[in-house]
Structure 1
Amino acid sequence: MDSLVMSLREDANASNECLPFTGKRHLESGVFSGVYSAKRRRTSLASVDLSRELLPQTLTEQWTESSADRFIPARPKFSSPFNTTPRTNRLAKRWGLADERILNFSDTPSSIPTLKMHSLLRKSASELFNPPIPTPATSVTAHLARRRHAGLVLDLPNITADPLAYPLSWSANNYIAVAFGITVYYQNMDTRKTARLWTLYNNYRDSVQVLQWAGSARASLLALGSTSGKVSLCDAGAPQQTITWPLDSLGSACAIDWLDHYFAIGRETGKISLFDCRVKDGVKSVAGHKGEVHGVRWSHDGKYLASGDQYGAVYIWDARADKFLVGGGEKGRKMKHYGPVKALAWCPWKPDLLATGSIYPEGIIRIWNATSSFSPPTPIHTIALNTSVTSLHWSSHCKELLSTHGSTWSLSSNAVTPTGRLTNVPSPLANSITVHAYPSCKRLMSVQAHHGVVSHSCLSPDGTGVFTVSAGDESMKMWKIWGKRENLGKRESVFDRYAIR
């Protein structure tokens, strides 16, 4: 027996010598403490890495590489997507909703997904619930922008070719007056009856340069100015009653406009003559311009008179000043263009807003505030067109500004001729009617009105139509520009029904 025990101990010691050293001391509580094979297998399995066999490949890669950003966290690939069920996932793919609205961050830019038919259907369906903003019935986009042609065309043989003349005027009684050399005709637009109103005698070299109907209070009066400086007043109701003021040394009449019983005429010498239709004497003048006055315009409230001259200077005169109407004149506020200024227009719904336009070589529309405290005044808006601006009109029904144009030029160096003048270039603004939105100054539409320069235009009595004239095709055209604003009347208030005692 003793020999058997000794042999077993020797075999155990021999087996322990073959085991690796684990750093732990084996307990010898019994005879079989060092020969238990199962414990050895567990110890050997502890040194084997089973993570690659038991865990998914995606999980190990997710934890080793991160594509997270500072602001956009990375969505784990093994997490549950938004479309959790197979049915919702299948429907999302069919309607193009899968992975379109999930914000992911990646180092490389993702490619734009191709539009599918279902995506297009979804977008078209969303447009049904978000209809576009309707076009206002008063805007030009609802009238001229759709038809783009004149409503009436009349021939004007031998019309003046001067683009700075005022040969056309539209009265509050719906009369159109046109000057042909020394003769003035007018037509009743309601009955289409035409009659000769006035003829300039005693000077075969003279011609009518400017004409303008009076306001609604005296709508039958027509003021005339000739190239010799003669000023006359005609009455369409009584053509034989004509008033003519004697010639003076102020030069030819170049611009004209009415205010109540006064009318102002810009002169070649740079002065502005003021006439009172009620008296034959007492002509007054305002001095300030150094060049020929091409445009004069009274504000709608009668507080200011704007004038523009050959050198681009624009003056705003305060009609309430004591020295303005008694002679001598008082200098107004000066504003500057870099081209001759003929086009002037006061805003009807904001009386202190003035629009001015210049011709070659500038071609710019500027909008000013007459009550601005800046000295010198700075324009509120500037619209660069590189096109001659011959006339301007504000709409009384919507916030839009109309301009008529002549030739267009280029500012590039290769467009300069050997004489130093800029050459004309094709442009949609040339010889056109253009309407701008306010205050964005966005161009709403532009229509070519004539084959030549649109030298002048006048607004209809209701403020919806415009007559244009051009010597290039010897015609005048009537255009429907705006629509009338609906008169909703006075809004009824609770104070209109009940009285407070």
Structure 2
Amino acid sequence: MDAGSLNPFSKLRGRSRCPLQEQILQRINSKENLDRFIPNRSAMDYDYAHYMLTEGRKIKENQPVFSPARDAYRMQLAEALNMNRTRILAFKNKPPTPVELFPSDHTTSSVHPAKPSKPQRHIPQSSERTLDAPDLMDDFYLNLLDWGSSNVLAIALGNTVYLWDASDSSTSELVTIDDDNGPVTSVSWAPDGQHIAIGLNNSEVQLWDSASNRQLRTLRGCHRSRVGSMAWNSHILTTGGMDGMIVNNDVRIRSHVVKTYRGHRQEVCGLKWSASGQQLASGGNDNLVHIWDMSKASSNSPTQWIHRLEDHTSAVKALAWCPFQSNLLASGGGGGDRTIKFWNTHTGACLNSVDTGSQVCALLWNKNESELLSSHGFTQNQLILWKYPSMVKMAEIMGHTSRVLHMAQSPDGCTVASAAGDETLRFWNVFGAPEVAKPAPKVHQEPFSHLNRIR
């Protein structure tokens, strides 16, 4: 006899329920029992329930006469229907074994441990080092600080250019300009970290070899007044003057002026080449930002800008190309503007504008994280570290007591030097340490190999 033949109630499925079943179900679903457990019908055995409510009850109430055959049949029937159960209604399935979300120290979890989150970087609120910078000119339009690839910092104090070697903290004097030609109005290291350009108040530019402390040549005829901004693009030194002119100078040849850009009506106080060397950004006292294309600079005729950006309402000195997005430029406006703006230099579109509340003097991108550092003038003279692109303030660093006119970044991208009108030079470990030390780039000396023969 199979199990199916032992179940005389299997054919009752699909039949109408008896009055007692209907009464139970009505009581279960009635409003007066909403606060009670609701049975799980999918887990209920209706054959067993029907038997217990009908035949089972009759057996218990009638107490039939003892019969061995009947008892054997009931035992087989009870075994087939698993009648050793005591409950008719099933409320829920057995709950799963709970998982300990926070295991104790003595418990070993079989689940793979979660990857530890990156620890939050500590941003110091005080400078790592402070040096005196007497006679630093308190002039917003000049660029008097630069950090070269050889880890040497150059700063112009009045008529003198000093070099500070970060490897041993030694200081040396490079040159002192006479009063007729000075003061020094800008400094800029060449990509090799050995040669340096010095812009002067008399419109001239001097090229020096820092290793031998020797002047190599003087560039004349570029401008009619002081040279307040400079930027290198390989062997091309681009200079911006108070006359509104921008000039490309090829330092390898005698007739060094190879390209002229005309677009600014007032002093050019900001110049930055993109990392690719294909685009030049310029900012001026006329509140304008221009984007120029290197590929259109093949002749000596004045080059037309590819974008003329007119959204700023004050002088634009602070310019910074994003290191991880080639067509992204950040620009900062002076005291009448106080905003940092972000530009797509392929389209000329302004992507975002943030009101900083104070004069923007300089901008630097973090080379290792999506962060931007700005230095400010009136009224709080602070440094602000921003998270990009949300532009949430990560830190606001005080220390200078006058506007922070200049910033320069160490070759490894971690340390920032700031120079202010309070005549101090401060070093900040604001960008932290890079995750992986990057090897120093190979220096290509060829562009400057002919300087010794040109006077």
Q: Provide the TM-score with structure 1 as the length reference.
A: 0.63
Q: 1:389 aligns with which of 340, 343, 360?
A: 360
User: Secondary structure at 2:359's aligned position in 1?
Assistant: strand
What residue number does 2:35 align with?
80
Contact 2:296 2:303 in 1 (8 A): no
What residue number does 2:450 align with?
none
Change (3 A) 1:154 1:317: same
Contact 1:256 1:263 in 2 (8 A): yes
1:31-430 to 2 correspondence within 5 Å? 79-80=34-35, 136=118, 142-144=121-123, 147-201=124-178, 203=180, 206-215=182-191, 218-247=192-221, 249-283=223-257, 284-323=259-298, 326-336=300-310, 337-372=312-347, 377-408=348-379, 430=380
> How far has the Cα of 1:164 moved from its partner?
2.3
Change (3 A) 1:446 1:81: farther
Q: 2:399 aligns with which of 422, 426, 449?
A: 449
1:425-440 to 2 correspondence within 5 Å? 430-440=380-390
> How far has the Cα of 1:79 moved from its partner?
2.3
User: Secondary structure at 2:377's aligned position in 1?
Assistant: strand
Give the residue type in structure 2 aligned to 1:344: L
What residue number does 1:461 align with?
411
Larger radius of gyration: 1
Change (3 A) 1:169 1:134: farther
Contact 2:269 2:283 in 1 (8 A): yes
Identity %: 29
Question: Are 1:479 and 2:434 counterparts?
Answer: no
User: Secondary structure at 1:436's aligned position in 2?
Assistant: strand
User: Secondary structure at 1:142's aligned position in 2?
Assistant: coil
Distance 1:81 1:236 in 2: 89
Give the residue type in structure 2 aligned to 1:142: R
Give the residue type in structure 2 aligned to 1:400: E
Contact 1:170 1:458 in 2 (8 A): yes
Q: Which runs of 5+ in 1 are unaligned?
A: 1-62, 64-75, 85-123, 409-429, 490-501
Distance 1:259 1:163 in 2: 24
> How far has the Cα of 1:202 moved from its partner?
6.1
Change (3 A) 1:81 1:256: farther
> How far has the Cα of 1:81 moved from its partner?
5.4
Give the residue type in structure 2 aligned to 1:286: Y
Aligned pair count reads: 340
Contact 1:312 1:341 in 2 (8 A): yes
Cα deviations across residues 324-356 of structure 1 (Å, max 9, x unaligned)?
Answer: x63422233111211110000001111111000
> How far has the Cα of 1:406 moved from its partner?
0.8
> How far has the Cα of 1:133 moved from its partner?
10
Distance 2:394 2:116 in 1: 15
1:11-26 to 2 correspondence within 5 Å? none
> How far has the Cα of 1:277 moved from its partner?
2.0
> How far has the Cα of 1:382 moved from its partner?
1.2
Distance 1:136 1:326 in 2: 53
Q: Provide the TM-score with structure 2 as the length reference.
A: 0.69
Distance 2:251 2:359 in 1: 34
Cα deviations across residues 90-121 of structure 1 (Å, max 9, x unaligned)?
Answer: xxxxxxxxxxxxxxxxxxxxxxxxxxxxxxxx
> How far has the Cα of 1:245 moved from its partner?
1.8
Contact 1:243 1:280 in 2 (8 A): no
Distance 2:130 2:38 in 1: 67
Distance 1:365 1:166 in 2: 19
> How far has the Cα of 1:179 moved from its partner?
0.9
Distance 1:135 1:150 in 2: 28
Give the residue type in structure 1 aligned to 2:190: A
Distance 1:292 1:83 in 2: 83
> How far has the Cα of 1:134 moved from its partner?
6.9
Q: Which runs of 5+ in 2 are unaligned?
A: 1-29, 40-100, 106-110, 439-455
